Structure 1
Amino acid sequence: MNILVLNWQDLANPQSGGAEIHLHEIFGRLARRGHTVTLLCSGWPGAAARAEADGMRIHRTGGRNTFSLAAPAYYRKHLAAAPWDVVVEDLNKVPLFTPYWVRRPLVLLVHHLFGATAFREASVPFAAATWLLERPIPRVYRGLPAQAVSESTADDLAARGLRRSDLRVIHNGVDLEFFSPNPFVARFPEPTFLYVGRLKRYKRIDLAVEAVALLRARGTHVRLRIAGRGDEEPRLRAQVERLGVGDRVEFDGFVTEERKRELLRSCWGTVLPSPKEGWGIANVEAGACGTPAVAADSPGLRESVVHGQTGLLVPYGDAGKLADALASLAADPALVARLGAGGRRFAEGLSWDRAADLTQAHLAEVAGRG
């Protein structure tokens, strides 16, 4: 197949995250299988206009805030004449409204929609713009074949007006060889928990910091490692200082995949307290390493964590309940081991090869109809 993918960013972008990992893991595999994959995405200062990665040809145009305007013009000038078998809009951030300017066959791929959660991250004008841009999705994309990375996202799309029969759920995968337990890597001697990912306000990392402070007040001492970078870091550092837990919370900054794996193997659990995720890939990576996850019982996350089997789910926004969950793991290394083993078993059913197989079959089906 000759496949064109449109996404806001590629993995080399400094702002890349889970959606870009998914993009490269899935479509990189399709490229290596012999399919021709071209990616149209945004650039950043100093980025090359053309590149190649994971077998994909990459075209960059516009920037983080201008890509939705630059992409249609670039497509018409450079890409519209190519014989695409299928075009995929990887909806990340805000929709590109491709049905208005891309010829079909067209597939919509959705990680998650922000909805009202946009107001937890951005300023009111930007949050309102995101919320408003999501409103036309049912009218613009209704009738198109679509992929969702979780049942929660599919339910959200259906609730907004897309036909459930058009939605195919294909869960994210995990690299089971790279993310794996290592019996020679010991856990930290003191109960230590890890947040790994972008430091964004809507991720609600502040709840994890608050939970550490609550536990300290109860006389239960745990540590929190925060690995990642983002514009929420100054606020988090100020919160740590205000709550007096500077000796309990450590900022690791950006970490390589190898360092992330080392932390996942060494920590007693991961923490992801956000109100909404497409899937929660960090939870599954932790499980693959034999480490349980503690996460909010929120859309997406409740699918990547099986409560009592691979980790613990707590009510979103409740720092006290989050503290209770961390305390239960801190007091019971056997529970950590049991949930970690369950996490590995769960992850073993979620390989990237499986996700790529299902994606390839769906795209071939759509291309055949087209």
Structure 2
Amino acid sequence: MTAGPHVLFLSWRDTRHPEGGGSEVFLERVAAELAARGYRVTLFCQSHENGPALETMAEGVHILRHGGRHTVYLYAALVYLAGALGIGPLARRRLGRPDVIVDVCNGMPFLSRVYARRPVIALVHHVHREQWPVVFGPRVARIGWWIESRLAVRVYRTCQYVTVSESTRRELAGLGVDPGRIAVVHNGTPDVVGPPVPRTAHPSLVVLGRLVPHKRVELALRATALLAAELPGLELVVAGQGWWDEPLRKLTADLDIAERVRFTGFVPEGRKHELLCRSWVSLVPSLKEGWGLTIVEAGARGTPSVAFRAAGGVVEAMADGQTGMLVDDEFQFFQAVRALLLDPDRRAEMGAAATAYARRFTWSVSGAAFADVVAGQLPATPSRLADQRVP
């Protein structure tokens, strides 16, 4: 049987990376959907201790890991060109000459359009305007933002874009990307893992995600401290790992709420769903999200969320006032959390609506939409599709 077209994903991380998150979940799920539709799929990402250099997922997606946090971009170009030129059995076997490249622009793009004479799809989850100054110093932030907002837009000016929300589509258009070249493919809802478990007897909150500055877990900690006197049994679970762990633990101690806050570190899928199921409210204080996967995950377990209206894609991952609450500042965040904790009927009503809302988003639908975008980039005729000349 003739192999289908080859799609190469270039991403700085995969889901097994210690800092992997929602964008990597989207990437691997749509890659798996493409593989199920007959495509040959390869994911190139940075190496890390949780995964071998070569791996084949159960879904048939091949993963090739090289380079580190910063060098993965250079390795992608070198390994791609080695494969295209037939230099070395590893590159030739695993990368070869793809028919379509999906360049995941997570702040820093791979700029594959510069060296690959193949159709390139730029996958952008969200624009990092707000994150650059939070994570880096002023000089690096300015350079990073220039690369993302000016250089990348210029390099990918003739490419098809994919993003996960209308809010990111609007932001990209604001940077100069032609809106007609931007397709929106929403995230699906991750499969529910494990049986339902009862809510905690005491008031409980959960924050799920990577522990990095722009996730703003501090807001959840401060809200917990303010509510402690009114709700003596209140507990906050912080589920996730990241390099911002120590500052968060220090703030917890400074706020004198160490007995109320539980840092779990990384949690496997089953434990994650148990935490979402048991918690009364899910908190998403993030500065920016392309979609808001944790909101939909919590909704699938009947748990309403509180998030920030200006955070981007969370607006589409939630029906404001029905499946959760969107706020504009930290004081409103505190008020919304308090209101939900004190109103069991409203929580139950929102939880039921959140479950129904989450069912609207499936990976099958997302995969079909992404496959349509890929198919639109393939050569139109069999003779051109068979063209495997050096790029």
TM-score bracket, normalised by the shorter chain, equals: over 0.9
* Mapped pair 1:304 → 2:312: no
Which of these residues, 97, 103, 115, is aligned with residue 111 of structure 2?
97
SS of 1:340's equivalent in the other structure is: helix
d(CA) in 1 for partners of 2:230 and 2:277? 27
* Mapped pair 1:343 → 2:348: no
d(CA) in 2 for partners of 1:285 and 1:360? 24
Give every structure 1 segment of 4 or more consecutive aligned residues whose post-TM-superposition deviation is greater than 6 Å: none
What amino acid sits opposite 2:316 in the alignment?
E
SS of 2:345's equivalent in the other structure is: helix
* Mapped pair 1:313 → 2:326: yes
* Mapped pair 1:262 → 2:277: no
What amino acid sits opposite 1:332 in the alignment?
D
Which of these residues, 4, 9, 12, is aligned with residue 13 of structure 2?
9
What amino acid sits opposite 1:96 in the alignment?
F
d(CA) in 2 for partners of 1:117 and 1:25? 25
Cα distance change, pair 46–359 in 1 and its aligned pair in 2 (3 A): closer
In the superposition, the TM-score normalised over structure 2's length comes to 0.89
Q: Within 5 A, what are the aligned runs for 1:1-370?
A: 1-44=5-48, 47-53=51-57, 54-79=59-84, 82-134=96-148, 135-176=150-191, 178=192, 182=196, 185-217=197-229, 222-298=234-310, 299-316=312-329, 318=330, 320-368=331-379
Cα distance change, pair 306–109 in 1 and its aligned pair in 2 (3 A): same
d(CA) in 1 for partners of 2:243 and 2:98? 38
SS of 1:120's equivalent in the other structure is: helix
Cα distance change, pair 173–219 in 1 and its aligned pair in 2 (3 A): closer
What amino acid sits opposite 2:263 in the alignment?
F
What amino acid sits opposite 1:73 in the alignment?
L
Kindly name which structure, 1 or 2, has the bigger radius of gyration based on alpha carbons.
Answer: 2
d(CA) in 2 for partners of 1:124 and 1:27? 36
Any conservation in 2 of the 1:8–1:41 contact (CA below 8 Å)? Answer: yes
Cα distance change, pair 255–136 in 1 and its aligned pair in 2 (3 A): same
Unaligned runs of 5+ residues in structure 1 are: none
What is the CA distance between 1:32 and its match in structure 2? 2.7
Superposed CA deviations along residues 83-108 of structure 1, whole A, max 9, x for unmatched, are 42211112224111111011221111
SS of 1:366's equivalent in the other structure is: coil
What amino acid sits opposite 1:145 in the alignment?
Q
d(CA) in 1 for partners of 2:194 and 2:129? 35
Cα distance change, pair 189–89 in 1 and its aligned pair in 2 (3 A): same
What is the CA distance between 1:56 and its match in structure 2? 1.1
d(CA) in 1 for partners of 2:328 and 2:195? 29
What amino acid sits opposite 2:110 in the alignment?
L
What is the CA distance between 1:29 and its match in structure 2? 2.1
Any conservation in 1 of the 2:303–2:354 contact (CA below 8 Å)? Answer: yes
Any conservation in 1 of the 2:283–2:306 contact (CA below 8 Å)? Answer: yes
What amino acid sits opposite 2:322 in the alignment?
Q
Cα distance change, pair 218–79 in 1 and its aligned pair in 2 (3 A): farther
What is the CA distance between 1:315 and its match in structure 2? 1.2
What is the CA distance between 1:186 and its match in structure 2? 1.0
Unaligned runs of 5+ residues in structure 2 are: 87-95, 385-391
What is the CA distance between 1:44 and its match in structure 2? 2.5
Counting matched residue pairs gives 365
SS of 1:3's equivalent in the other structure is: strand
What is the CA distance between 1:129 and its match in structure 2? 3.4
Any conservation in 2 of the 1:194–1:225 contact (CA below 8 Å)? Answer: yes
What amino acid sits opposite 1:165 in the alignment?
G
What amino acid sits opposite 1:312 in the alignment?
M
What is the CA distance between 1:6 and its match in structure 2? 0.8
What amino acid sits opposite 1:222 in the alignment?
L
Any conservation in 1 of the 2:194–2:274 contact (CA below 8 Å)? Answer: no
- The sequence identity of aligned pairs, in percent, is 36
Question: More deviation in 211-220 or 91-100?
Answer: 211-220
d(CA) in 2 for partners of 1:272 and 1:181? 24
Any conservation in 2 of the 1:42–1:61 contact (CA below 8 Å)? Answer: yes
What amino acid sits opposite 1:326 in the alignment?
V
What is the CA distance between 1:74 and its match in structure 2? 1.2
d(CA) in 2 for partners of 1:179 and 1:338? 23
d(CA) in 2 for partners of 1:228 and 1:164? 35
What RMSD in Å do the two structures reach over aligned CA positions?
Answer: 1.9
SS of 1:367's equivalent in the other structure is: coil
